[in-house]
Chain A
Amino acid sequence: MTTLSTRAAAAPPPRTRPRLRLRKEALVGWGFAGPFVAVFALVFLAPIGYALYLSLFQDRLIGGTSFVGLDNYREALTDARFWEGLTKVGLFLLVQVPVMLGIALLVALAIDSGRLYGKTFFRVSVFLPYAVPAVVASLIWGFMYGTQFGLVGNVNDALGVDLPDPLSPSLVLASIGNIVTWEFVGYNMLIFYSALKVVPRSLYEAAAIDGAGEWRVVASIKLPAIRSSLVIATIFSIIGSFQLFNEPSILQKLAPNAITSDFTPNFYTYSLSFSGQQHNYAATVAIVMGVLTAIIAYAVQLRGMRKG
Chain B
Amino acid sequence: MTTTLTRTPSATTATTAKRRARRPHTPLDPRPSIPLTLVTGLVLVYTLLPLAWLLINATKDQKGLLGSFGLWFADDFNLWDNVTRTLTYDDGVFVRWLLNTLLYVAAGAGGATVLAVLGGYALAKYDFPGRKAVFAVVIGAVAVPGTALAVPTFLMFSKMGLTNTPWAVIIPSLISPFGLYLMWVFAAEAVPKELLEAARIDGSGELRTFFTIALPLLTPGTVTVLLFSMVATWNNYFLPLIMIKDPDWYPLTLGLNAWNAQAQTAGGEAVFDLIVTGSLLTIVPIVAVFLLLQRYWQSGLAAGSVKE
> A residues near B, CB below 8 A?
17-20, 25-33, 35-37, 39-40, 42-48, 50-51, 54, 103, 106-107, 110-118, 122, 124-137, 139-141, 143-144, 148-151, 154, 158, 182, 185-187, 190-191, 193-195, 197-198, 201, 204-205, 207-209, 211, 213-214, 217, 225-226, 228-229, 232, 235, 239, 242-243, 245-246, 249-250, 253-254, 256, 266, 269-270, 273-274, 279, 282-283, 286-287, 289-290, 293-294, 297-298
Contact = CB atoms under 8 A, between A and B. Distances in A.
A283 B151 contact: yes
Contacts of A44: 141, 144, 149, 175
A269 to B, nearest CB: 6
Contact of A50 (B156, B279, B289): B156
Contact of A28 (B206, B231, B279): B206
A139 B53 CA distance: 11
Given A36-B118, A201-B28, A294-B143, A42 B290 contact: no
Most buried by A among B65, B147, B282: B147
Given A32-B121, A140-B54, A42 B152 contact: no
Nearest to B146: A243
Contacts of A193: 298
B37 interface: yes
B110 to A, nearest CB: 13
A236 to B, nearest CB: 9
Interface string B216-234: 0000000000000001001
Interface in B175-234: 175, 177, 180, 197, 200-201, 206, 210, 231, 234
Contacts of A297: 143
Contacts of B46: 182
B28 A287 contact: no
Interface stretch (B3-11, B76-84, B86-94, B254-262): B254-262
Contact of B283 (A27, A116, A132, A205): A132
Nearest to B25: A214
